[in-house]
Chain A
Amino acid sequence: MNDQDFQPARPIDPALLAAEEAKRIRVWDREERLRVIFETINWAESQPGVSRNNKESCLLRQQEILRSMGELPDSEQAKS
């Protein structure tokens, strides 16, 4: 493409980004979208150090959720 009037992009309006994301969801076939999402999750899961499906990740996640609920994890209750 040879356009003489190339203009650098302007700063992103957050509303534009939200509208773009919403538009994509509307036009995308639901089943195809789910297939792509699962494929992306599987790919991420296969990357080194990324898995959420292990003891360390599960404990960390559980600890964060318990803290957000105002509850001390068992391991910390034992200390106190």
Chain B
Amino acid sequence: MNVDLVLETLGRNQVDFLLIGGMNFLLRHEPVLTFDIDVWVNDTQINLDRCELAMIDLDASWGATEETWRPVKEQTGWTRRQSVFCLVSPHASVDVFRTVAGLASWAECKARAYKGKTKSGVEFFGLSDADMVACQLALPSGTRKYSRIEALRKAMGEI
């Protein structure tokens, strides 16, 4: 299945990543409608190289503009260009984040992350509940997902 393939491909390419966003919330807590797979990659040179290889394996495409949009297999070093990338692939819509608002250290978040497993057995690390709340609170108030914050706080026993 498509999401399994994305997670498995990142793992096979030894990409240090955390599953974040709606898909992470969905797998851990409640069903929410989400179309993208958001991953936060450890922002190091070697890891970005691995991420580029993983995206090649997924037949992904990206461009700085619509005019320069093309398969990532025809590009190198594109992950250095900015802090977030929304890619197209035939398997899933993937968002790659090099930084995440509200979260300072990828390594500290990884240490707090939970180890998840999809139904077909693909393992991944997902952002912890506390860090998911921190992400939401870092967003402008108009774009926060309050029902998600409430569900996370309930799960943490705060309310």
Contacts and interface: CB of A to CB of B under 8 A. Distances in A.
Interface of A: 1, 3, 6-14, 16-17, 20-21, 23-24, 26-28, 32-33, 36-37, 39-44, 46-48, 50-52, 57, 64
A3 B76 CA distance: 11
B3 A44 contact: yes
Interface string B27-70: 10001011101000001010011001000000001010110010
Interface string B97-138: 111110000000000000000110000000000000000000
Given A40-B92, A47-B118, A50-B31, A12 B101 contact: yes
Contacts of A46: 1, 119
A7 B98 CA distance: 11
B80 A50 contact: no
Contacts of B95: 20-21
Interface of B: 1-4, 23, 26-27, 31, 33-35, 37, 43, 45, 48-49, 52, 61, 63, 65-66, 69, 76-77, 80, 82-93, 95, 97-101, 118-119, 139-140, 143, 147
B97 A12 contact: yes
A6 B80 contact: yes
Contacts of A28: 88
A23 B5 CA distance: 24
B45 A6 contact: yes
